[in-house]
Structure 1
Amino acid sequence: IREDKPIDETMNWTEETSNSEYGKSKYLAEMEVWRGIGEGLPAVIVNPVIILGTSDWNKGSTEIFKTAYNEFPWYTEGTTGFVDVKDVAKAMIALMNSDITAERFILSSENCMYKDIFTKIAIAFNKKPPHKKVTPFLANVVWRWEAIKGKLTGIAPLLTKETAKTAQTKAIFNNNKLNEYLPNFRYTSLDETIERICSELKDKYQF
């Protein structure tokens, strides 16, 4: 990811040692779809950013909500894109029902700093927002400590080398292309998504 320019659909994958295994798996899957398109398959590719939805908050991106609820005090200055799971489904259905093919689309409602999204969620839960900044140096110390602790206890680390790097990265996503092809499509605002998910999680976990 380059931090000097917005990320859009014209950017291509480059082999770098910093690439995550998750990212590599998604790239390889996308290459299979392009192969099918080359053989005549009518298809499009969607590249959603971090998807937010109501699910088990012990895993996946919904862990963000549990972390904020537990008043985790630390924040980073990284930035990334977020999108409502309902918008992902809505966009995919609209694309499937169209004549669009052989295109890829970034699905992103808004770009937001990690500090800001944790603060928004904490406030929605009436909890204390994060207030201690994690520097890159501290993040590197913590992921190494978590790795050692994980090997000794068998407990999955709270922070890994990959997540430590991601949390410091300033990634800005350009979402214009989808609206050029689907001019009537509208994303749910991040504030509205957070409000809905927090309400649903309160009902789910009875707090």
Structure 2
Amino acid sequence: MITAIVDYNSGNLRSAEKSFQRMASEVGGGDIIVTDDPDQVRRADRVVLPGVGAFADCRSELGAINGLFGAIEDKVKAGNPFLGICVGMQMMATWGREHGNHTGFDWIKGEVVALTPNDPALKIPHMGWNSLNQTPDHPVFDGISAGDHMYFVHSYHLVPENPEDIVATVDYGGDIIAAVGRDNIIGTQFHPEKSQATGLRLIGNFLKWAP
């Protein structure tokens, strides 16, 4: 069993790699590799797409590595489990509206738009701990309850067209999307690798998930 964490120059992947390795050893999740090689992605059993920074920059970097975008698409179409983290989740959308209009994978119909909290005292970016308002049950959220805290750093969020694609929200001057998913794909706006025990549980759940 191999989980590929995709490296496309989107930031420091060390904390994600360490968290996934730790949980893989605890739950029997196999090997964790960090790679930008499309062939290694195609050979993997699970794919994790992290990301920090602006949607436009991450989309450009992902497209600049020959064959990588297509390799990720192929794995999702084949039914392999996929986890997008932060901008990696935003890439699941149809459009990103940060610094222009940019296409995503179009797996979750919707767009990535700027946060607009209804309380002017709330700062952007949304940075720090926030408690989840969980909606539908999902295996990757097994043992994680409404009120549990996750760590966020973002100024944009994915707004799905279909409410059924929403897995969890948080309140930050109104509901913002914390997680989306359907079929074999799941995405979190928060960083599970920075969310202590609750985030590690989510990572372990993902490594055991058989959609």
**Higher RCO structure (Cα 8 Å, ≥6 apart):** 1
Tell me which structure has the larger Cα radius of gyration. 1
Of Structure 1 and Structure 2, the greater strand share is in 2
TM-score under structure 2 length normalisation: 0.25
TM-score under structure 1 length normalisation: 0.26
